[in-house]
Amino acid sequence: MSEKWVQTWGQAHSALSFFYYPSCPKTYRMVINSAISGKAVRLELSNEYAKNDIKVGAVTVANCDKNGSFLDTYKTVTVNGQSSFVIKKGGIVKTDPVDFSVEVDGYFCVSVYVEQGALRSGNLIDNVELITVKGDVTAQKSVTNERRTRDGVREVASKVLGMYFHKPIPLFQSVELLNETGAGAITVFGDSISQQGYWTNAFAERIRKEYKGRYSVINKSIMGNRIRLDFGKRFIAKGLFGISGLNRLQRDVLDYDDTEYVVFALGTNDFLQYGTISAPKSEKPTAKQALDAVIGISEKLREKGKKLIVFNVLNFGECVDSRPEKEELVKEYNRLLEENKDKFHAVYDQASLCINPEKPNCSKKEYLGRDMLHPNKKGGQIVADGIDLGLFK
């Protein structure tokens, strides 16, 4: 088979807001358990939502154990032949390829020493281990994560708000392997329900077992994300919810030739956010507007040979921000998706799978977290187990 660059890990960037990393000479070591094989590696590093340039002093890659300890000699990663480089404010860099062998299900780590500059661009994705240590330890075999004060704040926020906030992953945008076995990527394009990892990680595990070495599952979800509209300008954490699905489709999906399937899981925030602190009432959508946007996305993907699997919207009637008119919008949108399912590769009815038969506008409480919106681990497993893996043959 021919060689092809395939993402083994990636994320969609938004502004990290109060989750950001202040300027401090620090090494960021990301430990990846690869679902695919490769004979070379290259990285994308993003400073898209920064307020400053970033100076990178060193980057290394090495095969490792699950704790991030090197198993062999590390290799230096460069940009235009230079081991030290600057990522401009708002910029993205792609590193030079490095000959590097990775086996299916093998662990390897990427270590980046940021010499100067605050890291404000990234995401809170729960499918990878990030170790952070002060100073340049990119060449050090074993390192121990240094807990920061903001970790405690994040954990308190998770308890108070009733949703899960993972440790923020800054800077890294994609890690690609040069694959020669015909592997490809399945990209999850969603919001916080997908971002927190309860169904996406369980789904990725099913894919690993069913299609060993064939697919990597790339979670490009952003909390608070909407299909049609960018983040609310009046929201206190501006930028955290990211630009709309329509506006980030090119950056997060179309720019990657390896993506074969897109699992589309946006829509909840389009119908839930308006009239709250996140968005004004004037941003209320119609179900038809949301449907037309998703159909437009499907057409763009089809032109590039990519197939779209659309999740309908879970019922959120138990959520504090729910209103009868919002619940009716969800019902109408889900009905329109079903009526137009021929325009997509498939429509997945997760709402019926999780519905509370005694309260048809709600999901079962046993499947939800404390905020009565995001599925808990049990709910995530139910959603993941219900996906027909035959769709990916």
Question: Which pLDDT belongs to residue 159?
Answer: 66
Question: Which pLDDT belongs to residue 163?
Answer: 65
Give average pLDDT by consecutive 10-residue segment, the chain, 393 residues.
94 94 97 98 97 98 98 97 98 98 98 98 95 98 88 69 79 98 98 96 98 98 97 82 97 98 98 94 97 98 98 97 97 98 98 97 96 95 98 96
CATH architecture of residue range(s) 183-392: 3-Layer(aba) Sandwich (3.40)
CA 95, 249, 199, 342 dihedral sign is negative
| pTM for the predicted model, two decimal places | 0.96
Q: Who contacts 69 (Cβ-Cβ below 8 Å, separation ≥6)?
A: 141, 142
Residue pair 195/163 in contact (Cβ under 8 Å)? The answer is no
8-state DSSP, 323: -
Question: Which pLDDT belongs to residue 53?
Answer: 98
Question: Which pLDDT belongs to residue 18?
Answer: 85
Question: Which pLDDT belongs to residue 149?
Answer: 72
Q: How many CB atoms lie within 10 A of CB 392?
A: 19
Residues of each domain in the chain carrying CATH 3.40.50.1110:
183-392
Structure tokens at 241: 């919810």
